[in-house]
Amino acid sequence: MYAQMIKSEATQDDPEKLAAFQARIDAGEKIEPKDWMPEGYRKTLIRQIGQHAHSEIVGQLPEGNWITRAPTLERKAILLAKVQDEAGHGLYLYCAAETLGVSRDEITEMLLDGRMKYSSIFNYPTLNWADIGAVGWLVDGAAIMNQVPLQRTSFGPYSRAMIRICKEESFHQRQGYDAIRKMAEGTPEQKKMAQDALNRLWYPSLMMFGPSDKDSVHSAQSMKWKIKMNTNDELRQKFVDQTVPQAEYLGLTVPDENLKWNEERGHYDYTDPDWSEFFDVIQGNGPCNVDRLADRNKAWDDGAWVRDGLLAHAKKKAARQHAAE
């Protein structure tokens, strides 16, 4: 039922309050948790921040898979630090969502039973070490493209969480680019692996920005409320424009025959991803959806004793304090 509630953006709030709220947004003010806000604003934020938090946590799975098989001790230490950062990002975001009146347990349970989404990209496998470089380069690159503008988002706790996250994401993107560069400059087999990783991860990375603007359900309202700062297509175009020269520098070929610099537009023309594949993946039918959710469910169940123990300790402490007063 709650999922139904957070999906709906329809709002029947008092028109005067709504107008005053919109004026605050238009003036660039930050909205804080105790301020009045329309129900639709609150629900949209819970949906977006929650989905983002879940993505950070699920995103640890394809990368964590390679910690034990990193090619050198240095790469292993770097990957370990990156994966730990993602856990931290998830926690900042769950905390931001909690300020909107939903508990971390509640939204986690909605992820685990499929009522809430996480980024489509993490339903693709990481088959070899080159994929880990490509994830850092492309996936973190796409994430930064989306997240830098979100530092200016209208909801204070979300904006502040994004400032911390972006600092770390730029390191992630650089480590990925460095790892893929090493492969691209390596033996012919290594270069082939780097090219293959780019071939497989290019379109899934473009999908991270969401459906094309004409199919985006939430963009117009979210942009009006400054929950989103740009449309999905605007950010996708920026990502293509930034990434193509990086691929060229590596001597790799972006797998798009129609990719061409358009002098008039000042942007690259490119082929859109296969949107039927995208919708299939977000409906649960991607290559790894079942495994990802099974892994998250197992981790949640295995961790129950820790949560129960902490809760029991907190309750006991509160009872002792109460008795002493």
Residue 108, interface with ligand BYC (CB under 6 A)? no
Binding mask 270-289 for ligand BYC (x = CB under 6 A): ------------x-------
What minimum distance in Å lies between the beta carbon of 320 and ligand BYC? 40
**209 near ligand BYC, judged by CB under 6 A:** yes
Q: Write the CA distances from 56 to 93, 141, 311, integer angstroms.
A: 9, 14, 25
Which residues make Cβ contacts (< 8 Å) with residue 10, sequence separation at least 6? 40
Q: Which spans in the chain are helix H?
A: 2-7, 15-26, 39-58, 60-64, 73-98, 104-112, 129-134, 140-150, 156-184, 188-207, 219-224, 232-250, 275-280, 289-302, 304-324
How many of the other CB atoms lie within 10 Å of CB of 249? 11
Regarding 55 and contact with ligand BYC (CB under 6 A), the answer is: yes
According to the binding rule CB under 6 A, does residue 174 interact with ligand BYC? no
One of 100, 111, 139, 162 touching ligand BYC (CB under 6 A)? 139
Can you say how many angstroms the Cα of residue 118 is from the centroid of all Cα atoms in its chain? 7
How far is CA 64 from its chain centroid?
16
Q: Is 212 in the site for ligand BYC (CB under 6 A)?
A: no
79 lies in the binding site for ligand BYC (CB under 6 A): no
Binder of ligand BYC out of 41, 45, 129, 146 (CB under 6 A): 146
> Does the protein bind ligand BYC through residue 207 (CB under 6 A)?
yes
Phi and psi angles of residue 185, each rounded to the nearest 5 degrees, phi first: -95, 5
Q: For ligand BYC, give the closer residue by CB, 59 or 157.
A: 59
123 touching ligand BYC, by CB under 6 A: no
Q: Of 77, 217, 290, 294, which one interacts with ligand BYC (CB under 6 A)?
A: 217
Sort residue 226 into left (φ over 0), alpha (ψ -120 to 50) or beta: left
Residue from 31, 45, 78, 143 binding ligand BYC (CB under 6 A)? 143
Q: How far is the CB of 257 from ligand BYC (least distance, A)?
A: 24
Q: What is the DSSP letter of 30?
A: P
Among 97, 184, 208, 252, binds ligand BYC (CB under 6 A): 208
List interacting residues with ligand BYC (CB under 6 A).
7, 47-48, 51-52, 55-56, 59, 86, 117, 119-120, 139-140, 143, 146, 207-211, 216-219, 222, 228, 232, 282
